[in-house]
Amino acid sequence: MRRYLRLAALLSAPLLWLVVAYLGSLAVLLVSAFWTVNGFTGGVVREFSLANFRTILTEEVYRNVTLRSVGVAASVTVICVVLAVPMAYFMAKVASRRSRPWLVIAILTPLWASYLVKAYAWRVLLAPGGPLESLFGVTAGYGLPATVLVLAYMWLPYMILPIHAGLERLPDSLLEASADLGARAGRTFRAVVLPIIVPSIFAGSIFTFSLSLGDYITVQIVGGKTQLIGNLVYANIGAANNLPFAAAIACIPVLIMVIYLVAVRRSGALEEL
């Protein structure tokens, strides 16, 4: 009996948080997505209606923004994988043992800097006539490519860290065994390293994908006129004052992430988180 009391005391605070703050807000989101707004008074009509979802599914602009957002999230994820795998490999297997902790710190420090400061720094970098243009002669300017670029920069550490952790767990003897059996470095990488770190890559992609899918600030700062799902949610909360419709739109990334998580679950990625 005392054991249960102690267990209850231990878990009550986190459970309360989980149920009220976490699941509660999600439930409110889901419920309010089925409400509407009175066109004249602007007041919320608390009656069940599928009108919001009908609008989202029938009007082309929402489909385009959804596809664009998924495209941005996917591109950001691919760029992060391409950059993170060799970087994590260097950190975990090639660099000298003494320098390894410093490299991890170097990857982590940008996360301490303010998100807004980094986004505005990129705005300055990308500006016409700015540092990028004077250095290389070209700049991505503001728009969709700039959004992908800056988001990839923002979320790269979230991809490097799980891959790095996966590679650290990979014993050096596996690489030696592969070489011993006649495989060159490239072959060893393809046949041994890559298959073993696939779950770690998926784990990282859950971060980069969901963070990109929910972003609306970077795109406002460097995206020019580009609109992503987050911008639509923001616009409906603010200017349009249509909270139920904002909630309905916010269900799109939630649904996409659920589909994505179910899809990568089989790879064992969720055990890597």
Residues near another protein (CB under 8 A): 171, 173-174, 176-184, 187, 191-192, 195-196
Query: At its nearest, how many Å lie between another protein and the CB of residue 143?
Result: 41
CB distance 250 to 235 below 8 Å = no
CB distance 163 to 193 below 8 Å = no
Q: How many residues does the chain have?
A: 273
> Which residue has 């990282």 as its token pair?
204
Query: At its nearest, how many Å lie between another protein and the CB of residue 187?
Result: 6
Choice between 99 and 241, CB closer to another protein? 99
| CA atoms of 261 and 272, how far apart (whole Å) | 13
Tokens of 6: 């102690």
Alpha carbon 240 to chain centroid distance?
A: 27
Query: At its nearest, how many Å lie between another protein and the CB of residue 85?
Result: 16
Choice between 114 and 173, CB closer to another protein? 173
CB distance 133 to 139 below 8 Å = yes
Backbone CA torsion sign across 241, 243, 247, 250: positive
For residue 198, CA distances in Å to 159, 167, 273 come to 12, 10, 13
| CA atoms of 264 and 262, how far apart (whole Å) | 6
Choice between 198 and 257, CB closer to another protein? 198
| CA atoms of 262 and 273, how far apart (whole Å) | 14
Choice between 80 and 197, CB closer to another protein? 197
Choice between 199 and 204, CB closer to another protein? 199
Query: At its nearest, how many Å lie between another protein and the CB of residue 104?
Result: 23
Query: At its nearest, how many Å lie between another protein and the CB of residue 205?
Result: 19
Query: At its nearest, how many Å lie between another protein and the CB of residue 273?
Result: 19
Choice between 92 and 232, CB closer to another protein? 92
